[in-house]
Structure 1
Amino acid sequence: MIGDQSDNWIIIGVSGVTCGGKTTLANQLKNTLTPVYVFHQDKYFHPDDSPRHVKCAGLEHNNYDILSALDMESMYNDIVTTIDGEDRSHGSFRERREGRLEIDDKSFIIVEGFTVLNYAPINEICDLRYYFVLEYEECLLRRSYRLYDPPDVEGYFDQCVWPEHLKYKAEIERDARVTILDGTQQDSLSIVVRDLQNLGANYI
């Protein structure tokens, strides 16, 4: 449970479709805000041989595109311990720097990953929430240029990646607190900066 230190933080959730621009935005924010911690969901996948994984239907391949493929409880706990000041080693930290955006004496946490906003405990602690979307063809094209470990097997995108995205996207669309971002546009950072300035952020 989050303690009294929660008022000292602004938490930004960045989620959405694979290859949609989540990590790019998170890295841009890391270089724009101060001080800032970044938590990447990809660091919380269960090991490939974990019994927690389930196979994608019809394929001899783990379904990595569902929440149960990740240790979300550990991710949440790492964020909470950072907020409470007990342990800040699990996130990527960028200390206070001039020329960056800050809000009074608050620190920022960026939580990035394809389903972070579909995990209710993390969603509920976010102050700002963003979700990237792409059309099927653009998403498939972008993913074809990515290398994964383990690599995608034939049929994985259509059997798992895209259907799971549509399911999680439908959940997010019911949450009016989430801002939907078009992954083909270039103004995502400016949208978040505008929202932060509305919260009182200024450049130092």
Structure 2
Amino acid sequence: MRVLVVEDDPELGPPIVEGLRAAGLAVDLAVRLAEADLKAAVNTYDCVVADRGLPDGDALDLVRGWRHSGRTVPVLMLTSYGTVEDRVSGFEHGADDYLVKPFAMAELAARVRALCRRHRPPSPPEVTVGSLTMDLPRRRVRRTGVLLTLTAKEFAVLETLMLRAGQVVTRSELIESCWDEMSDPMSNVVDVVIAQLRRKLGSPDPIETLRGAGYRVREPT
């Protein structure tokens, strides 16, 4: 899941980014509305988290423009504007959720995940492929009943592969879904995480490499 954070406060933006990354999300940061608009035009985001008071305007105006142009990406307003009128105005302008500062990072991450799931095609809370079972809400993976300890990035990659079990997922698709703009698309980050997953998943290896194409989780024959 890839998220765009729009926040100009240097003491708040980076911690929000790091907190959401620690929760397993790929996160980009914009500090101006124009920058956010450009990034949303060239990248595919599952959710946008936006402060209202940006140096070049109110983020609600940006959201309203997106809605008028048909852009449906979910937007969570994260702002100190906390009156009932402020929240109602946020929803009327096209926001999907509204969280007032100060906030708890755990709540923000939970709300962002809920919006991301709402934006994506519906998926069951539990996915089973062969001996692998993934509990999406609890973020747990078991193989033949044994609970595995995965990093946030390993879980994100395996989630993408299992939700498309039997289909080939390209390296570019994995990077787009599981990494952010700080990742070098020419690096070996995907290979490293796949190798780590294979060690933890054990034998027989459920992840198939198709040279020149990508990866897929084998469906049981």
Query: If the TM-score is normalised by the length of the shorter chain, which range does it land in?
Result: 0.3 to 0.5
State the structure with bigger RCO (CA 8 A, min sep 6), 1 or 2: 1
Structure number with higher strand proportion: 2
- TM-score normalised by structure 1 residue count: 0.37
- TM-score normalised by structure 2 residue count: 0.35
Higher Cα radius of gyration: 2
